[in-house]
Structure formats: C-alpha cells, structure tokens
Structure 1
Amino acid sequence: MDTTTSEIRPITPQAHALSFLTHIDERRSTLVGRIVEAILRNEPVYRDPELQYDLSDIVDQNLKEIIKELRGGPPSLSPARRAGRTKAENGIPMASLLHAYRLAGITLLHEIDEVTQSTGETDAAMAATAKLWKVLDRFSTAAVEAYREVIDESERRSEQARRVHLLALLSGMAPHPTDSLRILGLPETGWYAALASSLGGDGDDPEPRYTSAQEFAVIVWAQDVGMHIGLAGASTLEKLKAGLAAVTATTVAPTGASHPFGNVSDLPRAANQARSALRCLTPGEHRLSLYGERPIELTLVSNPDPVRNLITEVLGGVLSLDSSGANALLDTLDAWVEAGGSTGAAAAALHCHRNTVLYRMQRIAQLTGRRISHPAESAELVIALRALRLRGHE
C-alpha cells in the first residue's frame, strides 16, 4: 500500500496548517491495523472466517477519504457505500456496521492526540476533532443507505415478502409503514391510490401491467381474495393523477381505484374504496373505475340485500319472461337510458325500427307498473336495471 502524501493535496489555506494530518496519513497503514484490531475485539461477528471481504481494505479506503475531508479536500463516499453493501451481503447487523464506524472514530481521535502532542497543533487538533464526528456521521449515513438498498432489493425480489408488506399496509397492520413502502419501492412520503383488479375464475391471472403509468407513479400488486390488490404511489399529486390517467388509457382488466390520499393511515379505507369502485363495473367492462364517479352503482354495491329486493320488486315481471323476451326488453331499456330517453337514438343503437322501441317500452311499463314518463317511476327502472347489470360480480 502506498502511504505517501502525494495523492492528498490540501485545497484551502486552513488545510496547509494541518500538518499533523499529513503525519497521520503517512502512518495510515499502522492506523488501519489498530482500527481493525479494535473492531475485531469489540464486534465478534467480524471474526467469522466465512466472511467474503477484506476488512483491512475497506477500513483503509474509508480512512483515506475521511482524512481527505478533514484536510479540506473533496471526499468520496464510495468506500462508505461499499462498506454498507458488503456488510449487508455478509449478514452483518447494521448496529455492528455503525459501531465499527464509531470505533474507527475513537481510534482516529487517539491518533490525533498522539501526533499533535509532538507537533503542538492543539487548536487545529480541536477543530479537526469537532469536524470528525460530522464527517463520520456522513460516512456512516451513506453506509446505512447502501446497506438498506441491499436489504430492500433482496426483500423486493421475494414475491411472498412483497405480498405480505402490501397486504399489511392495505389492512393497516404494517408495524412500520414507511419501511414497507420503501421495501415495495414506493415513496415514503407522497400521494397514493389503492387499486383493485379482477381475477379470473381459475385464479391464475397475471397481475396487471401498466408500463406507461410507471413513468409517473410506482404501482405494485399482490393477489388478494378473489382479486388483485395494488397500490400506486408518486412524489406529487400531479404525478399520481398522470399515472392513473395512463392506467385509464391502457386498462387491460376491470380495475377500481380509490380517491388519492397523502396519509398512510388512510390505506385501509382506500383499499375498501378500490374494491367498491371495481364492483361498480359491469361484467366485461375493461376500464378504470374511480371511486365515487358512479354514485348510483356505488350505492347499489354497498347495499346488496336491499338491491336484490329492488330487482325483484321492479323488474320481476320482465324477468318472468323467457330469456330471449326478457333480454330484448332489458336491452331496449338500456339503450333508451343511454340515449337520454331518445326513442330514435335507441332504435339506431339497436338497429331496429322506432316503433319497435316504443312497443317494447310500453310492454316494460305494463310488466313493471312503472311509467317512463313519470320521473320517480322512471328512476326506479333505471336503478333496478343498473343493479341487475352489476349482479355479474356476485
């Protein structure tokens, strides 16, 4: 190892006065040995012969950059990040990682004291000592961040772990929500929306993929009972809305979404909103349903028992017909509603004569006892029809 000082060039006037740091750098190999000895003595986990890294090299590279920063030079945090990644990959606890940095700082302080006793740089040594703990804090923070990245990536690769973290968040049972968000790759602070998507009858559908939406928001999925459940997150409300708009434009399966929210405590409520929004879609509707955009359907899916009675009470006469007769009347009523009550537009949509539509609407009035010309009775027909269309989700 080259321990000369040619590679360390002080760049501030104050740095020229810190000659004791030059002496310390020249003795760096000895100091590295003392730090490694202190770590091995105080942290037994580092003594494992199976560890796949060179502790002395990691200490030397970190010490080199710490001294460089104390002298006023531009440091590199790469050695600190390497230390964090290496310790995580070898299963060394984070607490041991942080303790190693503290031991290195204490050993370096003793070295400064020894050297400055001979150089007389007492004031400079005090200033360097005060700065040392700030430098060590930056290095240890960088190491911890790299450590967490390794751990998070490992957990992210585990589908089971991802499912557990996501379902725990959406049920309000996550012990540390911000940790779960980070592990899932979601922003720890920002805006979110819960999602729910239909699952096929065989329960083996792949989770929805919305590549274009990922440009604006992170979307993660897990399989829940009878559906895919997901969570979208972005740093700002605008980005989240852009992500949901991209989902709307490229929907590959019936999907429900909650209102956007910014507080993780709202996750369970948002999950329920997403499930309700999904149930507001009729079978075959492959689109995104936002919670609350269909108030009638939302009311219907929230009260299943009264809805069954409503269907029987209002449309029972129509449903008593054979399937072809009932479907013809129901499709006509559907077309008439979609056409805004226009008989001509409904006839065009059904590819039949206008008089056919008039006859069928009269037949519906006879069988249901509801007149389409009466606002309240017409509303009952519309609501009962929408309730019937939603029955495919049951």
Structure 2
Amino acid sequence: MGGQRPRTEREWSVLVSASEVLMERVPRLTDQLIEELRVHSPQFDLAVPRDEHWQQTNEAMRYGIEALAANRSAPRRDLQYAERLGRRRAEQGLPLDLLLYAYRHAGYLIWEELLEIVSEKDPAALRVLVQLASYMWAGVDGQASAVADAYRSTEQDMQRRSDERVQALLDALLEGKSTPGLVAGAAAGLDLPEQGRYAVVVVRVERAAGREPFHRVAAAEGLRFFWRMRTDYEIAVVALGPEAGLAELAEVLHRRCPGPGGISPVVPRLADLGLARRLAETALRTCGPEAQRIVRLDERLPTALVVSQPELAARLIADVFGPLLELDPADRAVLLETLDAWLECEGSAGRAATRLYCHRNTVFNRLRRLEQLTSRSLSRPRDLIEMTLALDAFRLTPG
C-alpha cells in the first residue's frame, strides 16, 4: 500500500494464509464489533438500523481484509465501500467521530485476530506479521480518510440543500404566501418562534463598479438578521429580542449600512413578514433619490400616505403648488428649499437662515412669497399640512 516497500514471498504467504482464516471469522468479529460499538455509544443504535449496521459492517470488514492480502494492482474496493458508507452515515446523522472510531476499532479487532491466527498456525511467522503492521494500519488510515472525505462532502451538500430550502421558505414568507406548513418549516429551519417580534428592512444597494460593497449585519445585541439579496436592494428579516426595538435596530443600521432604506413596524408573527416587507418598501419610498439614511415607517406615516397614492399625490401637487410650477426652475427650487429648511428647523427662521447661508429676513420674504403664490398661510394648521404633504409629493413622486 502507498509507497511502502514490496512484500517478500514469505510475508505474502503469511498474509494470504491468515486472511483466508480471518474471512471465515468475519461474522463473529462483526457481532463483537457492533456490540462493543453499542457499549461505546448508544448513538450507533439510534442512527443506524441494526440489520443494516450488521450487514454493512460485515461487508466493510471483508473488503478491508481483501485489501490487506491483495496485490498493489488490485482495485481498492475497501476505499470505494468506505466512500459509500461515509455518505450513508452522513445522511443518517451518525457523528463523524463515531464513524472514525468504528473503523479504527475494527482495525484493532482484525489485528488482534491476525495475531491469534498466526500464533495458532505458525508461531514462527509472528515476527513476519509484526513487520507487516504498517501495511495493516496504512490500510485502516486510508479507509478512515476515504470515509471522512465522503462524509464531509455529503454533509456539505446536505447543508447547502437545507440552506436553499430554508431560504426558499423565507422568500415565500416575504412574498406573503400562505402555503400549508410554510411558517412551521421556516420557523424550524431558521430556529425562530412562529410567534415573536419581527421587522423587515429593505435597503437600496448600488452594485455598480467602483461602489463600496454592501456589508450585511449578521447580528447585534438583541437582534438577529436574515438577509436576502434582490437585484437592486437587500431585504433583512430581523428577529427582535425582548429588550430590542425599532430604535435599537435603526441605530445599528445607521452605524453599519449605507442608505437609503426602510424599516417596517414590528409584526407579531412570521406569517406577517409579507405585510412587513410591503411596509418596509413603502418606508424606503419616502426617502428621496439622494437620501443616505434608513428610516422607520412609523416615523414617516404622512409621507408614506403620499407616496402610496401617486394619483392623489399628483393632484395635491397641482392644487397646492400649481402657480409655482410655472416659475423658472431655479426660482422654484429656492422657494421649496427654503420651505423644506424651515420645516426641518421646526419653524425657526433663524436656524433655517443658518442652514441656507442667508439672512433670516430673506427666509421670511421667501416664505411670504410662497404663501402668496399658493394662496395658503403657514400659520394655519390645515394649510401647513397641505404645504408639507405637497412638498413631500413633489420631491418623492416620479416625473
């Protein structure tokens, strides 16, 4: 085996003769091995049906003995069988360390039996057999390596298929589907309760060359994130811990993710993720094209109403800002920028002037002109609401 020296005629004779007797004893050795494996760990019985375990152990031993006495050109059926067994045990869920223990323990039993056989038949050949120990353990190591490689490969394939299934379930929930068993399957796959506190985040992502790549948040204190990628944006289902809320979620995203993005209100069930996704997308639409922040829908409900009704938004713009639309675009932009700054500064002309790099009287003059053009007063609550919503509609409605 491997790069070891060729066996002599005497060594070959000892191995072949002992192997013939050893083959006859395989059923008893199989019984002994399986019993000792059960004593070592009850997981052998839990993972592998007894009849199957006996049959496969019996075959594995026979292939191992065959390989021990075979010449180098013979097919390594022991390695082929080890690969099959590795795949099977991975599918059955037997831990890999127990599978490797079984192979190595089988090696010890076979070696002890060889020593006994040679001692009975030809005691003088014991020295020859000991010199062949490296062949024996090289064979066991090769089988262990083959079984481990096949096990890990199968385990990775199973994990990938499981991940793909869970992701498909999560996508279905985000689409608002209600297939029987969907919620239970997603809950089990994601290790989440069906009833809980969940939010959905939608973040617009620029994937153009030269752009900074989007970095997903995996977890934060009291928060677990489950991300799904779309063409132009990323979606995250967020499981909120008992102490975490939307404020903590927004703070984490603000520190780690570029905007714009939207955060849904909290929903109490996994089954509500479709609704939460739609609300998060609505929150995203309240962000202007140049926005670089992630916003909460519950803090932008009036604006969300505007962007959710494009036909009404267009009528609101025409009704409130009709005369402004006839102005030179630069002149109109100055007036609307002043209104926006004044609203952001909570009605303080002085703070708005600082933001706009002009005198506070300039702010007053622009606002008065705006009132004249719109026939509305910023001191009247209803007029102020109309002006505010019309400004949102003008900035956020396409076209």
TM-score norm. by structure 2 comes to 0.58
Aligned to 2:95: 81
Distance change in 2, residues 1:155/1:380 (3 Å): same
Residue 237 of structure 1 aligns to a residue whose secondary structure is coil
Do the aligned residues in 2 keep the contact of 1:192 with 1:240 (CA within 8 Å)?
Answer: no
Q: Give the partner amino acid of 1:82.
A: L
Do the aligned residues in 2 keep the contact of 1:216 with 1:243 (CA within 8 Å)?
Answer: no
Do the aligned residues in 2 keep the contact of 1:258 with 1:290 (CA within 8 Å)?
Answer: yes
Q: Give the partner amino acid of 2:300.
A: R
1:309 positional shift: 0.8
1:384 aligned to 2:397? no
Matches within 5 A, 1:16-31: 28-29=32-33, 31=35
Aligned to 1:333: 339
Aligned to 1:166: 170
1:151 positional shift: 6.2
Moved more, 280-289 or 209-218: 209-218
1:275 aligned to 2:277? no
- Alignment match of 2:260 (pick from 240, 245, 254): 254
Residue 281 of structure 1 aligns to a residue whose secondary structure is coil
Aligned to 2:160: 154
Q: Give the partner amino acid of 1:39.
A: E
Distance (whole Å) between structure 1 residues aligned to residue 327 and residue 216 of structure 2: 43
Over the matched positions of the two proteins, sequence identity in percent amounts to: 26
Aligned to 1:38: 51
Distance (whole Å) between structure 2 residues aligned to residue 379 and residue 30 of structure 1: 80
Matches within 5 A, 1:196-345: 196-200=202-206, 208-211=214-217, 213-224=219-230, 226-234=232-240, 236-239=241-244, 242-345=248-351
Distance (whole Å) between structure 2 residues aligned to residue 197 and residue 388 of structure 1: 23
Distance (whole Å) between structure 2 residues aligned to residue 37 and residue 345 of structure 1: 81
Distance (whole Å) between structure 1 residues aligned to residue 49 and residue 304 of structure 2: 65
Matches within 5 A, 1:104-143: none
Unaligned runs of 5+ in 2: 1-29, 38-44, 61-76, 101-151
Which of these two proteins has the greater Rg computed from alpha carbons?
2
1:255 positional shift: 1.5
Distance change in 2, residues 1:157/1:370 (3 Å): same
Distance (whole Å) between structure 1 residues aligned to residue 211 and residue 98 of structure 2: 39
Distance change in 2, residues 1:198/1:324 (3 Å): same
Distance (whole Å) between structure 1 residues aligned to residue 49 and residue 207 of structure 2: 60
Question: Cα RMSD between the aligned structures?
Answer: 4.4
Do the aligned residues in 2 keep the contact of 1:256 with 1:290 (CA within 8 Å)?
Answer: yes
Residue 52 of structure 1 aligns to a residue whose secondary structure is helix
1:187 aligned to 2:195? no
Distance change in 2, residues 1:329/1:186 (3 Å): farther
Distance (whole Å) between structure 2 residues aligned to residue 243 and residue 186 of structure 1: 20
Q: How many residues align?
A: 285
Aligned to 2:115: none
Distance (whole Å) between structure 1 residues aligned to residue 218 and residue 49 of structure 2: 50
